[in-house]
Structure 1
């Protein structure tokens, strides 16, 4: 195995493991409280959202990876891919931990239509981190225009199908708007 690939895999495994342990010690359930694991959870307004391996928010995490690759490529053009990946993992894992604090969970419940949101399961957060890694590596291989097309496609798709996406998620977390909340509620 290529040493760069091996090192990158070790870095990813380490970050996922440490984040999973932190989330578990914070009280997040390892899997859905329903007692089973699904590959896909397609119902957004459900107590099982953010509890299984993937859901409608998985594309947002792929977008994170694309954006982090671009950001760290611009900020650290001479750094290795492994170093840039480690920095992307610091940000993504930090977000997964912050997202599962009472402060952010309560903010989602107050400011968005996510009234039944109680945080992510450990398996969902781990899969979200891996989705970011996929986005990061896609961006490292694709031309810039293709990365931009992927971002626009995922944002348009989730906005159209579930009335949410990365942009709306950030907007509603940082600057909630009643009109957007009403629109998202259908």
Structure 2
């Protein structure tokens, strides 16, 4: 079975896309770092001013899982469907970084920030710092790398563990975020609120 092994050109292009995303976010007026004035490796509260402002938080597993999902998508496109011919598989990481970068930019538009506030557990969400967005792209790349290196069953197990732990600790995760952003369910909102999340 083929794998999505990037080469030097793909790695350089991926880095260029990530840098472009950072520049776009700065041009959008996003704060470079937390407006608190310092940088933390981990921030464990999801509904305060430090959420999505530092290097890692309870949404980091979601971005790692993005990388796993994007790896699967790239494998399906470049290996299974044969897009890009014989050497197409090297471009999987480029697709992944482009998708994650696009999401980081979209996520920080006022429209999406307001949507997060209205229907998800992140009622105090004010958008990401540029540092956090850059870190999220990095965490996604880490998830992609894990999917490249690990057996499929181990990758799936890690994704499920990440989702389960986040749901148990903060009553939120990638699955719940997607559901609530697209099709808000009152029962989920009530469950999150009962845990002090909302």
* TM interval, short-chain normalised: over 0.9
Partner of 2:172: 164
Q: Please tell me whether residue 152 in structure 1 is matched to residue 156 in structure 2.
A: no
- Structure 1 counterpart of 2:102, from 83, 91, 94: 94
TM-score w.r.t. length of structure 2: 0.88
Counterpart CA distance in 2 for 1:129 and 1:174 is 22
Counterpart CA distance in 1 for 2:154 and 2:134 is 26
Partner of 1:20: 22
* Deviation by residue 1:22-60 (Cα, 9 ceiling, x = unmatched): 011111100000011101101111110000011010010
Displacement, 1:72? Answer: 1.1
After alignment, is 71-80 or 164-173 more displaced?
A: 71-80
Structure 1 gap segments, 5+ residues each: none
Q: Please tell me whether residue 138 in structure 1 is matched to residue 138 in structure 2.
A: no
Displacement, 1:13? Answer: 2.1
- Structure 1 counterpart of 2:123, from 102, 115, 125: 115
Return structure 1 stretches of 4+ with deviation > 3 angstroms. Answer: 4-9, 78-82
Partner of 1:173: 181
Partner of 2:3: none
Contact 2:11–2:94, Cα closer than 8 Å, also in 1: no
Counterpart CA distance in 1 for 2:169 and 2:51 is 15
Q: Please tell me whether residue 53 in structure 1 is matched to residue 55 in structure 2.
A: yes
Displacement, 1:5? Answer: 5.1
Q: Please tell me whether residue 183 in structure 1 is matched to residue 185 in structure 2.
A: no
* Secondary structure of the structure 2 residue equivalent to 1:76: helix
1:31-110 to structure 2, matched below 5 A, reads 31-77=33-79, 78=82, 79-110=87-118
* Secondary structure of the structure 1 residue equivalent to 2:51: coil
Counterpart CA distance in 2 for 1:60 and 1:75 is 22
Contact 2:34–2:50, Cα closer than 8 Å, also in 1: yes
Displacement, 1:85? Answer: 0.7
RMSD: 1.3
